[in-house]
Amino acid sequence: MKERGKIFLLVLVGAFIGSDLRYLESLIFKTTNGFPLGTLVANLTGAFIMPFLIHYLQDRYNLSSKVVLTLSTGLLGSYTTFSTFTADSYRLYQSGNWVSLLIYLTITILGGFVVAILGNYWAASRAFNDYVKKEQDR
């Protein structure tokens, strides 16, 4: 099998796992008031995990580009979901639930940005702590 075919299959496996996790999360965070909490949790946790994966785990464990693609594009790409975010936003708009719509948009967009920054800081902190520990062990 050619290299591209192997990468395609790895991303496919990651997407399979990510979509199953996303569905499970939608069941766990199901609300009775129509607020899309499951999508919000998926998108915020994905925004937090992605920079940590890229900036810490990849360097710390020397992950190959195949593993990073599997986890980022495959798993996290199917776990987080812009299309569901858009559909949920439109549903809140159509139902006239303006307060929930504003809260959802604000938390998703600004919250996603903030947790991505936090994920970067967490990655940098872990990398620094690993460096200090390595130096102390010398």
| Contact residues for 18 (Cβ-Cβ < 8 A; gap 6+) | 74, 75, 76, 77, 78, 79
Does the annotation place 77 within a ligand binding site?
yes
Give me 51's structure tokens.
């920079």
Does the annotation place 112 within a ligand binding site?
no
Which segments of the chain does DSSP mark as H helices, in order? Answer: 3-28, 37-52, 58-60, 65-69, 77-79, 82-94, 98-137
d(CA 38, CA 81): 11
Q: Which residues are annotated as a binding site for Na(+)?
A: 77, 80
Q: Which residues are annotated as a binding site?
A: 77, 80
